[in-house]
Amino acid sequence: MIDQTLTSNLKILSWAEEDRPREKLLLKGRSALSDAELIAILIGSGTKSLSAVDLAKVILNKVNNDLNELARLSVKDLEKFKGIGEAKAISIVSALELGRRRKETEPTKKLKITCSQDVFECIRPQLMDIGHEEFWIILLNRANVVSNKIQISTGGISGTVADPKIIFKQALDHLASAIILVHNHPSGNLNPSQADIDLTKKLKEAGKFLEIPVLDHLIFTNDGFYSFADKGML
């Protein structure tokens, strides 16, 4: 009987060529590789007892094989894994950040906002995996098509400042016909605070006066959203 422990501990270089991550990518294409194999290419080597692929599997197992969870780990978090030093951790963080930026900069057709889910998908590239609060506005034309997305402020883990003067100056400068307010809750809490409610009321009234209606205020989390419009809060 083959010793399974010994087999799992074999170095990648002793594998069949078509099973090595780099060679497999060249022979079969990048889509043929598992998440663990792709991460193994990034880290390059494992430990005395684990191949790079096995080490990648350990890391993925720790985040329940969820790449979104992996993307939230810092360099220091990754360095807690035996066999992952600063250089390897930086490689993983950099690769995931490139993936996020690619998603953010992908050319997309002009999005028409028809519901709160559209707003969530529109702002997702900007607010996904952020550990601090940011306040954004989405500018719309008369057909409710997105003309721009603008960051108003950035703050700490529990709050950020949203100045009505800055918000409506941006809307006026870009000749927006309507706006949607968005801010994130890094904690994952979807419930609006009293400050969120008061600010929404203030901005709604200002929008009426300037004839730039506030159509919604979305509280964004990585796992979902709260829409003031859907909840009858506007």
For the domain that residue 29 is a member of, what is the CATH number? Answer: 1.10.150
Q: For a pLDDT cut of 70, what percent of the chain falls above it?
A: 89
pLDDT in tens, 86-98: 999 999 999 999 9
Mean pLDDT of 22-33: 90
The answer to whether residues 151 and 218 belong to one domain is yes
Domain edge (last residue) among 77, 105, 133? 105
Tell me if 233 is assigned to some domain.
no
Which stretch of 10-19, 22-31, 76-85, 165-174 has the lowest confidence by average pLDDT?
A: 10-19
The answer to whether residues 98 and 120 belong to one domain is no
Q: Confidence class of residue 129 from pLDDT cuts 50, 70 and 90?
A: confident
The answer to whether residues 123 and 223 belong to one domain is yes
Mean pLDDT of 176-189: 95
The answer to whether residues 18 and 72 belong to one domain is yes
Mean pLDDT of 42-70: 94
pLDDT at 77 over 70: yes
How many domains does the chain fold into? 2
* CB contact burial 179-208 (16+ within 10 A = b; e otherwise): bbbbbbbbeeeeebeeebeebbeebbebbe
Tell me if 182 is assigned to some domain.
yes
Mean pLDDT of 118-128: 94
pLDDT value at position 19? Answer: 60
pLDDT value at position 15? Answer: 62
What is the C-alpha separation between 89 and 96, in angstroms, rounded? 11
Query: Is the distance from CB of 26 to CB of 17 less than 8 angstroms?
Result: no
pLDDT value at position 12? Answer: 59
pLDDT value at position 66? Answer: 94
Nearest to 146 by CA among 184, 117, 118, 106: 118
The domain containing residue 38 runs over which residues? 4-105
The answer to whether residues 91 and 194 belong to one domain is no
| CATH classification at residue 184 | 3.40.140.10
What is the C-alpha separation between 111 and 113, in angstroms, rounded? 6
Tell me if 232 is assigned to some domain.
no
Measure Cα distances from 115 to 151, 217, 219 in Å: 21, 12, 14
Tell me if 150 is assigned to some domain.
yes
User: Which amino acid is it at 201?
Assistant: K
